[in-house]
Amino acid sequence: MKKFLFALSVSLLAITSFSSLAVDLEYKGFYQRLDLIKENKLEKITMGFYLVDSYKRTRCEMEKATMLAQGTEPSAIAIADDGQLLVPYSRDLYDKFALLRVKLKDEYQNCILQMQMQVKDKTKSDFSFAELALITTQMQQLVDEFGSFLWFMMPQVSGLHIELSSPENIAYINEKLKPALVCEQEKCKLAIDADNQSNDKAISFDLAPKLISPWINKE
């Protein structure tokens, strides 16, 4: 049970797998997760949706994604440069039992849907201590929401995983924060004090990080 909950909190949840040129995914699952974020007013974070190879864990290449719903014209869904499916939040699509149809470039690639809890604004490159604390707190709230009545069994978000744009991408880090940061090439773990509400600059980057997601300390 604990192992499963940990996997969910890190946001690597495989919903389905497939080997086909065109893939249909129920919109219901996307909506339910986005609705949790909106309902709890977690404005600093979102849920990213990706297709990844089930064996290599690399991102699957997609030609296009289209939303299909009864009584509605098909609409194109944007695919970000990093492979994120930019699925909209829409009660109307939910009520119409919409499907997301994704066309893969390689029909023989075995892909799974990956859901990644992450910072919403991927252009942000400067963070204060208070902003880091708020992001971490909101991620913990969402982890607890996933647990529902078992919230007390959910793991604690200790800080943030930061995927840098390059190994030398950190422009500034506050002296107080340096002991909390551990990096290996582009991958960093940053322990966060959720009680620190200082507006002092904590960390900044030459280029905005590729991804900021929750870090669960298993030790």
- Residue 122 is which amino acid? K
Residue 20: what pLDDT? 58
* Range of weakest confidence among 4-8, 16-20, 198-202, 203-207: 4-8
- Give the whole-angstrom CA distance, residue 219 versus residue 197: 26
pTM for the structure as a whole: 0.86
Structural domains of the chain, ranges and CATH numbers in brackets: 2-119 (2.60.120), 126-215 (no CATH)
- Residue 107 is which amino acid? E
pLDDT higher than 70, residue 143:
yes
- Give the whole-angstrom CA distance, residue 49 versus residue 117: 9
- Residue 117 is which amino acid? M
Sort strands 170-173 and 201-205 into parallel, antiparallel or unpaired.
Answer: antiparallel
pLDDT digits (tens, 9 = 90+) for 7-28: 333 333 333 444 457 889 999 9
- Give the whole-angstrom CA distance, residue 18 versus residue 165: 31
Mean pLDDT over 140-158 rounds to 81
pLDDT higher than 90, residue 175:
yes
For 80-117, b/e burial (b = at least 16 CB within 10 A) is eeebbbebeebeebbebebbbbbebeeeebebbbbbbb
